[in-house]
Structure 1
Amino acid sequence: MSDVRLASPQGRGILLTTILGSSMALLDSTVVNVALPAMGRDLDAGLAALQWTVNAYLLTLAGLILLGGSLGDRYGRRRVFLIGVVWFAAASLLCGLAPNAGVLIAARALQGVGGALLTPGSLALIQASFHPDDRGRAVGLWSGFGGIGAAVGPFLGGWLVDGPGWRWVFLLNVPLALLCVPVALRHVPESGDGGEHGRFDVLGALLGAASLALVTYALIEADWITAALGVALGVAFVLVEKRRPDPMMPLGIFASRQFTAVNLVTLCVYAAFGGFFFLSVIQLQVVVGWSALQAGTALLPTTVLMLLLSARSGELGERIGPRIPLTVGPLLCAAGMLLMLRVDRGASYVADVLPAMLVLGLGMVTLVAPLTATVLASVDVSRAGLASGINNAAARAAGLVAVAALPLLAGMGEEAYRSPGAFDGAFGRSMWICAGTLALGAGVAFATVRTLPPGCRRPECRSHGSVAVPPLEGEPVKGRIA
């Protein structure tokens, strides 16, 4: 069914459902970091536990998101989306009630499973349900409201932490799910690709997730034996994907040099973003001495700029090609992060923090929309969904590794976040590492990215407000298993 009109009650119900579902995952990506110091104090947790609070979610989400899209294709996108919403809400409730850090980390991993089920279905339901004449406007509204949700996330997280407490950062998802599910059951039609299916690549998914988990553990705990085992499982994952007739990640897609190059840029860019947003809110609270609300609000300019200017950036990228935006954008982001070196005890928001946020936000605006469009233009249109899924998973995996590796590389001890002096020094070293990673991404883009014919003019390619990951393309892809 793809003839629902946006102005109809059913059309409004579909749009509301997809916005509510995607908002749960978007809010999680921007709210939780603000609450980390409060979680650490309340649960008497060290820095490693805070890293795992972020990474347990990213680990299962990045490892299973391609499989989640395949489940929707086979068993119905509405069904899998709703299972993901309920799962996500139940895991969020467990997070909110967690008595200790161990339970919180386990619940966060379960939350990531729910995210992997609901995230691919949100945009796919719009693409599969709406009449072609209304589809562009529906996606534009979905992107705009999603951007607003991402923009208010840090502010909302800070308000919750300073008000009712950090547990409400997670408990907030429960009423969102209670509203989302009945609306979806009433208004959203079921859809699937209706094609023949092969076997699910469960082995590939398990090997990929296990490799990421072991590498993450090794970086957080400085255990090099585990690191070697994680790398070995990564090699096994590649070999399995190469030999299976229906792999989760067909390696042939990397035959496109442009696709490979842009994913390398993605790894560099989103590793730096992941490390920055993990550490900056802690810096603002622990070193500068701001409240959670002040720290969360301080990050608003980056997302507001993304929301307001991404469409124009996408248009510019179409005119001049992706090479310049993907070179200049990371360098602007690097400059913004280096400006954060001025932010220490007694820092002024207007004089010290705001300039860094504005430069960083302009860099994000410059690069994100052209990056997404270039990923989708670099492969055949029939593989656009797969290409976007791989790019989205690569961005999440990059953030996962950065959150694990940065404290180790910067010499940040287990109790550093309790000591303003120790954390400030390590934060400065981290910003240099993030800036260097962005400069590497700019160099890769300048050396390898070439202009291709325009390949993605849909709204989800050109405008979105999330600073966490590229938008996930939702166009149904026929004949794809994973």
Structure 2
Amino acid sequence: MKPEPPRHAARWALAGLGLSMLLSSLGAGIANVALPALAQAFDASFQAVQWIVLAYLLAVTTLIVSVGRLGDLIGRRRLLLAGILLFTGASVLCGVAPGLWLLIAARAAQGLGAAVMMALTMAFVGETVPEEATGRAMGLLGTTSAIGTALGPSLGGVLLAGPGWRAVFLVNVPLGVLTFLLARRHLPADRRESRAGRARFDRLGTLLLAATLGAYALALTRGGGSFGPLTLLLLAGAGCGAVVFVRVEARAASPLIRPAAFRDPVLSTSLAMSALVSTVMMSTLVVGPFYLSRTLGLGTALVGLVLSAGPLVAATAGVPAGRLVDRFGARRTTFAGLITMAAGAGLLSLLPARLGIPGYVGPLAVVTLGYAVFQTANNTAVMAEVHPDRRGVVSGLLNLSRNLGLVTGASVMGAVFALASSAADVSTAGPEAVATGTRTTFAVATALITTALALAAYGRSLAGRRAAGVPDGAGLTG
């Protein structure tokens, strides 16, 4: 049989990677719409069924860096295939679960499979496409992720109205099988290394990082924007865990994350920028429904339709953004994305309610377009600098920074919105109070994007010093 041409093989490999991203983002959003039906089906409280979403989120957040590093050590292809199988099998278990707690456990397993897929897809780009097409490949992955995010609520609603809640989880199964077959057939084989030359997996670092991230994510997701005693205790535990983790990693022979890597301007500033812009993007999801329903008086169906404009823009902008990165370079395109986001957020902070739906959708589209450009450029800039044997863990860090930004945005920006609205319950606040809260929240969002721009300029200056031969710290290749 004649071997496939490299370009043809790369297209099929990217199709498998793109489906992996779609599955993980679809799994994150499709269950939310089913929570009321699940509460009724299992005769459970809303607080109990919330764990169906939290279990997935916590599994992804706490384990994404560790599975990325594990892929670097044992082979990314075999681990990705295992992650796809785990996600698919857990989807079956979710769909047939006879009880709530088995469903929650299956969702945690599904989240672990999603963490593997999210951590390793970007790591494979350097091995499957030519260097000059890296931006387009990253843009494609961003597009499929956005499609999964946009498709989740709408597809979940259709399935819920038709076959019922079990179909919300079982729909992942045929997609999982297709993803597995494409990945198994077209992804490059793992490089074989002798056991003597293989680094050890950092078990203690993994446990410490998982506990630290789990405490932080749980504090913010369970807090709902309020900071009670339990939330503060969890945040304090996360802070102590972070200190212990850094000390342990500094002494480890084969650390999960090398502390010296954070002195690299490309990695450190890119992770911080990713967290900031993801916080801003979550603001649009937190504030948008209240502004559209309370201030503009839209019905539920129309609110959902308007909010889908953001993911739609992200889905259509991903590949063109990748082309811009390949043509103009990652750093220039990063600035362009951030400036676009700042412009959109600034317009939303000045938003007069009399402009109606177009007055909200227009700036929202600008923010989302900038986000798509930034994400593609930022991911490309980081992954281009990484040594092949660290791609998994760095890809995991990029995804982690995005997840932490989303978690932080949901809690902190939600608290800003509630405080600025001057209402005990924003769901019953008056139209003008919600409009004021919306403008204030996006003013804060504009300040966050401005901070990201300052970080981009700082990272660019340090990178320029590096190019000129002035030492600035440890690189990503060590």
Q: Which TM-score band applies after superposition, normalised by the shorter structure?
A: 0.7 to 0.9
Q: Counterpart of 1:87? A: 86
Query: Any conservation in 2 of the 1:204–1:248 contact (CA below 8 Å)?
Result: yes
Equivalent residue of 2:189, what SS? coil
User: How many residues matched?
Assistant: 442
Query: Any conservation in 1 of the 2:337–2:369 contact (CA below 8 Å)?
Result: no
- Structure 2 matches for 1:92-171, cutoff 5 A? 92-98=91-97, 102-125=101-124, 127-129=126-128, 148-171=147-170
Q: Counterpart of 2:56? A: 57
Q: Counterpart of 1:265? A: 273
Query: Any conservation in 2 of the 1:92–1:173 contact (CA below 8 Å)?
Result: yes
Cα distance in 2, alignment partners of residues 316 and 402 from structure 1: 31
Return the offset for 1:393. Answer: 0.8
1:226 aligns with 2:259: no
Q: Counterpart of 2:470? A: none
Q: Counterpart of 2:174? A: 175
Query: Any conservation in 1 of the 2:206–2:256 contact (CA below 8 Å)?
Result: yes
Cα distance in 2, alignment partners of residues 215 and 72 from structure 1: 25
Return the offset for 1:251. Answer: 2.0
TM-score by length of 2: 0.74
Equivalent residue of 1:449, what SS? helix
- Structure 1 runs not aligned, ≥5 long: 344-350, 456-476
Structure number with greater Rg is 2
Query: Any conservation in 2 of the 1:208–1:237 contact (CA below 8 Å)?
Result: yes
Q: Counterpart of 1:469? A: none
TM-score by length of 1: 0.73
Equivalent residue of 2:281, what SS? helix
1:25 aligns with 2:58: no
Q: Counterpart of 1:347? A: none
Deviations 1:303-325 (A, max 9, x none): 23223334356467768564464
Deviates more, 1:53-62 or 1:324-333: 324-333
Query: Any conservation in 2 of the 1:59–1:397 contact (CA below 8 Å)?
Result: no
- Structure 2 matches for 1:71-470, cutoff 5 A? 71-98=70-97, 102-125=101-124, 127-129=126-128, 148-192=147-191, 194=193, 196-219=197-220, 220=222, 222=228, 223=230, 224-257=232-265, 259-274=267-282, 276-277=284-285, 280=288, 288-291=298-301, 296-310=304-318, 311-312=320-321, 314=325, 322-323=334-335, 325-333=337-345, 335-336=347-348, 352-353=356-357, 355-370=359-374, 372-374=376-378, 377=381, 381-383=385-387, 385=391, 386-404=393-411, 421=428, 431=438, 434-450=441-457, 452=460
Cα distance in 2, alignment partners of residues 275 and 46 from structure 1: 27
Cα distance in 1, alignment partners of residues 413 and 206 from structure 2: 26
Return the offset for 1:394. Answer: 0.9
Return the offset for 1:266. Answer: 2.2
Q: Counterpart of 1:459? A: none
Query: Any conservation in 1 of the 2:317–2:369 contact (CA below 8 Å)?
Result: yes
Return the offset for 1:203. Answer: 1.8
Equivalent residue of 1:190, what SS? coil
Equivalent residue of 2:54, what SS? helix
Query: Any conservation in 2 of the 1:284–1:290 contact (CA below 8 Å)?
Result: no
Equivalent residue of 1:440, what SS? helix
Query: Any conservation in 2 of the 1:333–1:438 contact (CA below 8 Å)?
Result: yes
Query: Any conservation in 1 of the 2:262–2:268 contact (CA below 8 Å)?
Result: yes
- The residue type equivalent to 1:211 in the other structure is T
Q: Counterpart of 1:467? A: none
Query: Any conservation in 2 of the 1:14–1:126 contact (CA below 8 Å)?
Result: no
Equivalent residue of 2:208, what SS? helix
Cα distance in 1, alignment partners of residues 110 and 440 from structure 2: 30
Residues 1:64 and 1:42: Cα distance change in structure 2 (over 3 Å): same
- The residue type equivalent to 2:369 in the other structure is V
Return the offset for 1:150. Answer: 4.6
Cα distance in 2, alignment partners of residues 228 and 133 from structure 1: 45
Query: Any conservation in 2 of the 1:74–1:194 contact (CA below 8 Å)?
Result: no
Query: Any conservation in 1 of the 2:28–2:57 contact (CA below 8 Å)?
Result: no
Return the offset for 1:132. Answer: 7.3
Cα distance in 2, alignment partners of residues 40 and 337 from structure 1: 37
Decide which structure has greater helix share.
2
Query: Any conservation in 1 of the 2:95–2:167 contact (CA below 8 Å)?
Result: yes
Return the offset for 1:90. Answer: 2.3
- The residue type equivalent to 1:305 in the other structure is V
Cα distance in 1, alignment partners of residues 434 and 100 from structure 2: 24
Cα distance in 2, alignment partners of residues 142 and 236 from structure 1: 35
Give aligned-pair identity as a percent: 28
- The residue type equivalent to 1:441 in the other structure is L
Residues 1:39 and 1:421: Cα distance change in structure 2 (over 3 Å): farther
Equivalent residue of 1:176, what SS? helix
Q: What's the Cα RMSD here? A: 4.4
Cα distance in 1, alignment partners of residues 125 and 428 from structure 2: 49
- Structure 2 runs not aligned, ≥5 long: 464-474
Cα distance in 1, alignment partners of residues 436 and 143 from structure 2: 36
Residues 1:290 and 1:124: Cα distance change in structure 2 (over 3 Å): same
